Amino acid sequence: MSVLDRLKIKTHKDPYFSKVGYEILNESALKRRVKVTVVVPVYNAIDYLKKTIDSVILQNIGFHNISLILVDDGSNDGSRDVLTEYSRLYENIVSVFLEKNTGTPAFPRNLGVHLSNSKYITFLDADDWFSHEGVKVLYDLLEETNVDYAVGKTIQVDSKEQTVIGRYESSQIRHNVSPFSIKHLFYHLGPRARMMKLDVIKKNRIKYPEMKFAEDKQFFIDVLLAVGEISTTTTPVYYLNRIDENNSLTKQTDALEKMDSNIAVLKYVLEKNLKPEQEKLIINRLIEFDSITRLFDRKHFVKSKNKDAYYKKFHTVMNIFKKYKRTYQFEDTIIKPISRIYFDLAMNQDYDTLEALADWSKNKGESYFIEKEGLPYKVACLKNGEKISIPIDVKAEICEEKQYDDQIELKISLKGHKIPKIQGLILQSRTHVEQSHLIEEGVRHTQDNYITVKLNPKNLEQIKLDGYAVFLRHSDYEKIRITKDTELGLQVKLAKNKLFMIYKTIRGNVGIKVIKEDKKK
């Protein structure tokens, strides 16, 4: 008789956890109190499963401080054999085998929470992986700041490049702040790069709803409403796998199915009757991003032969919002100018122009810039002959540059409909997405929406050899590209034979290279 044959299917007083039978390997490990539990839902994840598990085993907090609970949702690709072997090798790897597939990560994650016995808990998907210090970084942050929730940096990996996801939550170190103090925090609510106190979930009876999509949004909305204060770090914690071969459930779910889930979450949030300013921050993602941007400003909409279905989903959202009779308007939650244009076109049922705008946006249609009454606009030239002026919140352009022996001085004009206070200059590495430099010294506002930037060996000494994209930072994490109409070629000599060079890219943006100086020239 095999090990699995000797194990009994678990039953519970809570009927939710009794609806699906399951078997456990290393059940005794659940009795030992540990620092952190890592919960991983598994379904046909054979291609990346070992990399995922190994990333937990190699955590520098010490694997003995972790309980790894892997809940298999009826895999038939060999994943169960992998889990069985790991559980035989490591007594703190708990493998749970559901007797039937549930069709969503919700039940496996909920069961993992239910079985956990630790101070903190974090989640990992079966095709993603942690950085070696990820668990310790979040654990130490929680211990240091005595909050119930911490979040770090997520790096998305695809076949071509790496990008930072949800930069709002990891743009700077924050201790003991309200989640509502971070404007876009509710934009990215996947399970990655976040750790929380297990008791918060259990005492508040927070569960993932059993939906194919958006279950994590609803779960983490509830968690963030329960924790009060949070802390954040800029350290990379989690690698999100978006390599082309990765056929995740999210990729399999089409846009209209996703909208059904988003509508369910919208209703759920509206039923809570939160304070208006809190509610607006939460549902901005559900309304602007999910119900406008992801619905219309995407190639799947442009290619669809059933666009009426998209319009019906949009108006369903509108009708739901109206039903709850809020003191603010639907459009008050919309931030981006192009989103407001899509909204107005959909409300006026000008679908021909809306479809032409989506086609222009996704197929890089012709455009040019104009100014009206001193304010900048990008004019979209649509295929139906319409021209739509899209307001530009802020446009930054170098209007004057000076070169001294050891210093560069730039004068940058700011024009736009929403000109913010600039906090500094960001140099973002083009080769190492997790590396960026913020230069605050030497950046200051002058009169009439101009800023000056002084670059010299003192504020550039930490810049490494690399190529950089250049931005102005405002509102803690928002970035503005800097442009230049004419050619640009400036340089400063730094210590250790480094040469700091500023140039204009082929797209008209400002770029920087730091190279070794060629002494032969």
Kindly list the domain boundaries of the chain, sorted by start residue.
3-247, 254-391, 395-516
DSSP 222: H
**Residue bearing tokens 């779960």:** 219
Give the residue among 163, 186, 150, 202 at the shortest CA–CA distance from 17: 202
Q: Which tokens hold the place of 257?
A: 């199915």
Full DSSP string of 264-299: HHHHHHHTT---HHHHHHHHHIIIIIIIIIHHHSSH
Q: How far apart are CA 187 and CA 189, in angstroms?
A: 6
Q: Residue 249: its pLDDT value, please? A: 43
Q: Residue 398: its pLDDT value, please? A: 95
Give the residue among 440, 509, 429 at the shortest CA–CA distance from 465: 429
CB 72 within 8 A of CB 53: no
Give the residue among 369, 374, 468, 371 at the shortest CA–CA distance from 428: 468
Q: Identify the CATH number of the domain defined by range 395-516.
A: 2.60.40
3-state secondary structure of 191: coil
Q: How far apart are CA 429 and CA 512, in angstroms?
A: 9
Give the residue among 385, 378, 373, 387 at the shortest CA–CA distance from 338: 378
Q: Residue 497: its pLDDT value, please? A: 84
A 10 A CB-CB count for 126 gives: 29
A 10 A CB-CB count for 252 gives: 10
CB 107 within 8 A of CB 125: no
CB 69 within 8 A of CB 37: yes
415 has which bridge partners?
395
CB 100 within 8 A of CB 74: yes
Give the residue among 189, 154, 167 at the shortest CA–CA distance from 268: 189
Give the residue among 292, 483, 274, 503 at the shortest CA–CA distance from 399: 483
A 10 A CB-CB count for 162 gives: 17
Give whole-number Cα distances, 361 to 87, 259, 297, in Å: 50, 21, 7
Q: How far apart are CA 479 and CA 472, in angstroms?
A: 6
What is the distance of C-alpha 470 from the center of its chain?
21
Q: State the amino acid at position 27 in one-letter form.
A: E
Residue 497 region, left (φ>0) first, then alpha (ψ -120 to 50), else beta? Answer: left
Q: How far apart are CA 444 and CA 252, in angstroms?
A: 48
3-state secondary structure of 145: helix
Q: Which tokens hold the place of 444?
A: 């200051």
Q: How far apart are CA 312 and CA 314, in angstroms?
A: 5
Q: How far apart are CA 451 and CA 395, in angstroms?
A: 12
Q: Residue 159: its pLDDT value, please? A: 82
Model-level pTM?
Answer: 0.90
Q: Residue 319: its pLDDT value, please? A: 95
Give me the average pLDDT of each 10-residue run along the chain (521 residues): 41 76 96 97 96 98 98 96 98 97 95 97 97 98 98 92 91 96 91 97 96 93 96 97 61 75 96 95 93 95 95 96 93 94 97 98 96 95 96 95 89 95 94 90 88 91 92 94 91 86 93 83 52
24 has which bridge partners?
96
Q: Identify the CATH number of the domain defined by range 3-247.
A: 3.90.550.10
Q: Which tokens hold the place of 510?
A: 């400002």
424 has which bridge partners?
473
